[in-house]
C-alpha cells in the first residue's frame, strides 16, 4: 500500500500553533481566501487518488471542530490510545484504532487499500519513523509563526528524499513533492 503525506507548513516548518490553531493558514477558517480563487494546489487530484485516510486524535478533533465532515464517505482511521468517543459525522466512515503504525499499515494493506493519506504531525512522524511513508508533498506558506507544532521530529535514522518537483504560486505558496528513498 502506498502512503502519502500532503500538508501545509509555515515557512519555519510548523503545521499548527502550539494550541493546534490554524489561524495563520489562509482558507483554514473556510472564509478567508488563499489569494488564488479556484486554485486548490493539487489537493483534489491527490485526494481523489487516495482510498483511505489515517490521522491522529488531535487532527481528528480539529477536523470535527470545522463542522461539516470534509472527507465524505472515504474511510478514515483515527490512531489514538486515549480517545473513546469519535462523535462521527453522519455518513462518515471513521474507525478508532489503538495499535502501532506498523500494525495499522499491515491491516490496511491486508484489507486491500491501495493508497493511504497520512495526516497529523505525530501520525506522520510515526509513519516516517517506521519507514512507511512513500511520498511527501509540502506546501510552504509565506509566514513565520515562530513556534508551534513541527511537521518533523526526531528520527532514529536519516530519511533520504528524492525531489520530484517544486511549484511556486502567485500568492507566495511553494509546493514541493518528494519520494522517500529506501536503502536497497
**135-141/14-16 β-pairing:** unpaired
Q: What structural domains does the chain harbor?
A: 9-26+124-184 (3.40.430.10), 52-112 (no CATH)
pTM value is 0.91
Q: What integer pLDDT is reported at residue 36 of this predicted model?
A: 65
User: At 163, is the pLDDT very low, low, confident or very high (cuts 50, 70, 90)?
Assistant: very high
pLDDT per position as a tens digit, 9-54: 999 999 999 998 888 988 654 555 666 676 778 899 999 999 999 9
pLDDT tens readout for residues 58-68: 898 888 877 78
Are the C-beta atoms of residues 64 and 89 closer than 8 Å to each other?
yes
**Cα–Cα distance measured from residue 64 to residue 85, given in angstroms and rounded to the nearest whole number:** 12
DSSP string, 49-111: H-SEEEEEHHHHHHHHHTSS-TTTT-EEEEE-SS-----PPTT-EEEEE-S-HHHHHHHHHHT
% of the chain beyond a pLDDT of 90: 63
Tell the burial category of 134 from Cβ atoms under 10 Å away from its Cβ (0-12, 13-18, 19+): middle
CB contact at 8 A, 114 and 89: no
How many whole angstroms separate alpha carbon 167 and alpha carbon 151?
20
Amino acid at each position: 500500500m502506498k502512503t502519502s503525506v500532503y500538508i501545509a507548513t509555515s515557512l519555519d516548518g510548523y503545521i499548527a500553533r502550539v494550541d493546534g490553531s490554524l489561524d495563520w493558514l489562509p482558507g483554514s477558517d473556510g472564509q478567508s481566501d488563499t489569494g488564488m480563487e479556484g486554485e486548490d494546489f493539487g489537493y483534489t487530484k491527490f485526494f481523489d487518488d487516495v482510498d483511505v485516510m489515517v490521522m491522529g486524535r488531535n487532527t481528528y478533533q480539529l477536523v470535527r471542530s470545522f463542522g461539516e465532515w470534509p472527507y465524505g464517505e472515504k474511510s478514515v482511521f483515527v490512531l489514538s490510545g486515549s480517545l473513546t468517543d469519535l462523535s462521527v459525522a453522519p455518513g462518515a466512515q471513521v474507525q478508532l484504532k489503538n495499535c502501532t503504525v506498523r500494525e495499522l499499515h499491515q491491516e490496511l494493506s491486508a484489507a486491500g487499500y491501495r493508497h493511504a493519506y497520512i495526516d497529523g504531525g505525530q501520525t506522520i512522524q510515526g509513519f516516517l519513523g517506521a519507514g512507511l511513508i512513500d511520498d511527501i508533498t509540502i506546501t510552504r506558506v509565506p509566514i513565520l509563526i515562530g513556534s508551534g507544532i513541527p511537521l518533523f521530529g526526531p528520527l532514529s535514522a536519516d530519511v533520504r528524499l528524492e525531489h520530484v518537483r517544486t511549484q511556486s504560486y502567485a500568492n507566495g505558496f511553494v509546493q514541493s513533492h518528494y519520494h522517500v528513498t529506501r536503502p536497497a
